[in-house]
């Protein structure tokens, strides 16, 4: 039976924790973006906003687009020659910032633990 390498338990725990933090951040971001898409689709089922009504009717000057940062869906249309934008759905910037931070720090932690573990 092979003996475990000294310190391998600590290293494994560190990788487990940092990868868990990264995964939690990624899941937070995915849930935020999916929620925006679902909310936009729900708003399009029974549109009350003139921009969404025009978009549902297939008007060429109405469009819905999504932005990742800040996470939101925006309906743009032209009414009486004036361009108009309406935010249909958005996510809290603090939630997205927390998700990005967790994903970045967790990923950096995994890389750091992996590099430091190989050098020893």
The average pLDDT across 93-119 equals 90
Considering only residues 59 and 4, tell me which one the structure prediction assigns the higher pLDDT: 59
Query: Exposed, middle or buried by CB within 10 Å (0-12, 13-18, 19+), for 113?
Result: buried
pTM attached to this predicted model: 0.80
Mind listing the pLDDT tens digit for each residue in 17-37? 999 999 999 999 999 999 999
72-79 sheet: strands from edge to edge: 63-67, 72-79, 82-90
Q: Cβ distance 109 to 21 under 8 Å?
A: yes
Q: What percent of the chain has pLDDT over 90?
A: 53
> Please, which pLDDT band fits residue 3 given cuts at 50, 70 and 90?
low
Dihedral angle computed from the Cα positions of residues 90, 108, 9 and 120, in that order, rounded to the nearest 10 degrees: 170
Token pair of 86 as six digits: 């309406």
Alpha helices in the chain (DSSP H): 8-45, 50-57, 93-119
The mean of the pLDDT values for the chain is 87
Tokens 């759905």 sit on residue: 89
Considering only residues 92 and 4, tell me which one the structure prediction assigns the higher pLDDT: 92
């Amino acid at each position: 039976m092979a003996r475990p390498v000294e310190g391998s338990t600590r290293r494994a725990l560190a990788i487990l924790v940092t990868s868990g933090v990264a995964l939690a951040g990624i899941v937070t971001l995915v849930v935020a973006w999916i929620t925006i898409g679902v909310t936009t689709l729900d708003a399009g089922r029974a549109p009350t906003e003139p921009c969404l009504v025009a978009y549902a009717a297939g008007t060429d000057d109405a469009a819905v687009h999504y932005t990742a940062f800040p996470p939101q869906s925006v309906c743009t249309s032209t009414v009486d020659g004036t361009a108009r934008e309406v935010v249909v759905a958005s996510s809290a910037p603090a939630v997205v910032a927390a998700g990005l931070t967790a994903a970045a720090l967790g990923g950096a932690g995994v890389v750091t633990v992996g590099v430091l573990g190989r050098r020893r």
